[in-house]
Structure 1
């Protein structure tokens, strides 16, 4: 297991868990809106509606052309064109502090937990992805979260066009190496 990385890379906190931390422009209610409101969430992750209650449905529509102009690699082409609808379920919610949901995976269902902690005029966002099937899935998921969180940070800071798809291969390679060594 690793301690939090000052370079903001995700860290393995258990054999099946990776955790990310980002210090973002606040307040917490603003960041919460980017987690829960479809029109804001689609700017960095995925659109789609959420029933904001424990047990509620969350149908995320991953359509990456909504936040990047970069062409998708062939294996992810549908995420830039028609989009990919992914079913999730809210497992825990405490606005504007905690949102947890199921996450479809490679043969197993995992869970993602978003936690918000106010720090002055900023908010510490902690994203924990649990119950990952193995090191390959952990590297894949980590590269995706890392790239999506970069887009979120840029968006919250008022930035424009986002680099996304070109980051994925370099992040996958880096995370594969990091997790192989842990």
Structure 2
């Protein structure tokens, strides 16, 4: 393991959602829906696409790294000194989808960002579940 990998931490949140992967994928990749559960953005599910998330506290600059429709999505997440990567993995299961979010790249001196992500992602996924419940 490289020193860089050893020196970083990750936040991982997993949920079982009672929705098919195609429906969960919509919430992860359609800007209006992302805006309902995460933040306003100009996201497009295209590798290399630069986009940003914005909220009242500021913004996060991102770039799409990889897209595997209905299976996985990865993008950089850079803001307030944090350089990280967010990866979403969708796994079909009986009655829905197992959704896994992993954000990697928190260094030892980024305790506040790490704690914020640890507390924030479960709340964002709660909101995503509410958005999904309202979709056809």
For the aligned pair, the TM-score class normalised by the smaller chain equals 0.7 to 0.9
Structure 1 runs (4+) deviating above 4 angstroms are: none
2:78 aligned partner: 104
Q: TM-score, normalised by structure 1?
A: 0.63
- Is 1:37 aligned to 2:30, yes or no? yes
Q: Distance in 2 between matches of 1:17 and 1:144?
A: 13
2:8 touches 2:104 (CA, 8 Å); kept in 1? no
Greater RCO, CA 8 A, separation 6+:
2
Is it true that 1:125 corresponds to 2:110 in the alignment? Answer: no
What TM-score do you get using the length of structure 2 for normalisation? 0.82
The higher radius of gyration belongs to 1
> Does 2:66 correspond to 1:116?
no
CA deviations over 1:68-99 (Å, ceiling 9, x no partner): xxxxxxxxxx25xxxx4432001111111111
Q: How far is 1:140 from its partner? A: 1.2
Verify the 8 A CA contact 2:33 2:131 in the aligned structure 1.
no
| Cross-structure match for 1:49 | 42
Instruction: Give distance in 2, aligned partners of 1:86 and 1:131.
Output: 15
Please, which runs of 5 or more residues in structure 2 have no aligned partner?
1-6
Structure 1 gaps of 5+ residues are 1-13, 63-77, 159-182
2:113 matched to which residue of 1? Answer: 137
Question: Does 2:20 match 1:27?
Answer: yes
Instruction: Tell me if structure 1 keeps the 8 A contact 2:82–2:113.
Output: no
2:67 is aligned to 93
